[in-house]
Amino acid sequence: MPSGLPVPFPDAADPGAALLGVPTDSGPRRLIEQLHAFPRPSAEIRLRTCRAYLELGEQEAAAQELAIAVELIGSAAPYDWRLSWHRALLRLADGAVADAQREFDEVYSALPGEYAPKLALGYCAEHLGDHEAAKRFYEAVWQRNRSQGSAAFGLARLRLAAGDRGGAVDILGGVPKVSRHYDAARIAIVRVLSGRLGHPDALPTAEDLAEVRTRLPRLYLDEGRESGPARDRLTAESLEVTLDWAERQSGAGERMGEPAGHARSRRWVRRGRAAAAAEAPRRGTEPPSLVYGEWEDESALRAELELTLRRLARQADSPEALGALIDHANAIRPVTRV
């Protein structure tokens, strides 16, 4: 079940509507226990329990809850869009996207002006490879409400699928601060700027990586703390891509006939941005000073990445994860100079 899809509003006349309107921090398993304790027959309680089981990946139990909701709704069940919505969620959980699309289309026919069915149909079209249809549905929501992060993320994915990194960043940058998706969009921008598009060789540009260095420290991560596992993971990802970029630049210098050591040393010398930019066309590479403002050489970059990986290792939740991170840190660490 795509977690970004909005949740239908409960029927205000349902006996369980008031309970569902109370915010809860309970996880899905605990929530199911609480909902099963509700003393009155309630279709809305059953539908919410259905979604909780889907969050746990327990489709059979979710289907049973939906069947009980159908019985409670009774003769109106064939015309109740809520049932079509939840049948669609079950189809998605089973990987039957085309079947889910047909159920969501029933919801769209009943609620043509609502955001939820448009986003759901966009999601289905995207996963079925019909990117033009997906774009129409996502834009129908995005143009009306920029706070709808699901539409922004959908459009960004379509831009990335087309190889348009900048377009994806522009879309995500349009999510306003009042949106609950604002922080997630800012984090996604950093991932997009430092990511590989489609295959390992599709590296970011120097300008992209420089933008990552600017944006990453400003992100709201780890509940606002200055350091923590989320920031360390994102930092490690961006540093690894930066190291790949550096090695690619070194390889470009060697292919142009420079000795390997000379290409490496020229790449890491700290110069002014204007001088590096003017030199870049002659080398056929991008100006390294955009990326390496705080690192004097490759060893400094490797040392920073090693340190970050070791911090992550100390936070590992299993011996296997600890070992993998330590091995990776040892492989990254700079060669000791004699």
Query: What is residue 259's DSSP assignment?
Result: -
> DSSP per residue over 267-308, as a string?
HHS---HHHHHHHHHHHTS--GGGT-TT-SSHHHHHHHHHHH
So what's the pLDDT on residue 296? 62
User: What per-residue confidence (pLDDT) applies to 131?
Assistant: 97
Q: Which two tokens stand for residue 233?
A: 């993971």
Q: How far apart are CA 5 and CA 153, in angstroms?
A: 11
Which domain CATH number covers 113?
1.25.40.10
285 falls within a domain: no
Beta strands of 73-191 (E only): which ranges? none
Helix 28-36 crosses helix 43-55 at what angle (to 10 degrees)?
160
- In the block, residue with structure tokens 């660490």: 333
pLDDT at residue number 230: 93
- pLDDT computed for residue 259 by the predictor: 44
For the chain, the domain total comes to 1
Q: Within a domain: residue 72? A: yes
The label of the residue with tokens 């090693």 reads 306
- DSSP annotation of 217 reads G
81 belongs to a structural domain: yes
Closest by CA to 46, choosing from 30, 58, 64, is: 64
What does the alpha-carbon distance between residue 128 and residue 120 come to, in Å, rounded to a whole number? Answer: 12
Q: Walk along the chain (338 residues) in steps of 10 and give the mean pLDDT of each run.
A: 70 91 86 94 96 94 97 92 95 96 96 93 97 97 93 96 94 95 96 84 85 93 89 92 81 47 37 38 49 66 90 91 92 74
**What is the rounded CA–CA span in Å between residue 300 and residue 290?**
16
Return all residues near 152 (Cβ < 8 A) that are at least 6 apart: 142, 146, 171, 172, 174, 175, 181, 185
CA distance linking residue 125 with residue 158, whole number of Å: 11
Domain that holds residue 48: 32-134
Structural domain contains residue 41: yes
Q: Which amino acid is at 251?
A: G
Amino acid at 25: D
Inter-CA distances, 274 with 250, 277, 284, 307, Å? 21, 5, 16, 32
Tell whether 6 is covered by a domain: no
Residue type, 2: P
φ and ψ at 235, to 5 degrees? Answer: -65, -45
- The radius of gyration computed from the CA coordinates of the chain, to the nearest angstrom, equals 25
Looking at the domain assignment, is residue 44 inside a domain? yes
Structure tokens at 8: 């239908």
Residue linked to tokens 């070194």:
250
- Supply φ then ψ for residue 315, to 5 degrees: -100, 5
| Distance in angstroms (rounded) separating the CA atoms of residues 83 and 99 | 14
The residue among 308, 326, 312, 316 whose CA lies nearest residue 239 is 308
Question: Is residue 174 in a domain?
Answer: no
> Do residues 301 and 287 make contact, with C-beta atoms less than 8 angstroms apart?
no
Classify residue 77: in a domain, yes or no.
Answer: yes
Which residues have C-beta within 8 Å of that of residue 269, sequence separation ≥ 6? none
Which positions ≥6 away from 154 have C-beta within 8 Å? 119, 122, 123, 126, 134, 138
* Both structure tokens of 209: 């990586």
| Distance from C-alpha of 325 to C-alpha of 161, rounded to nearest angstrom | 30
- Residue 232, amino acid: D
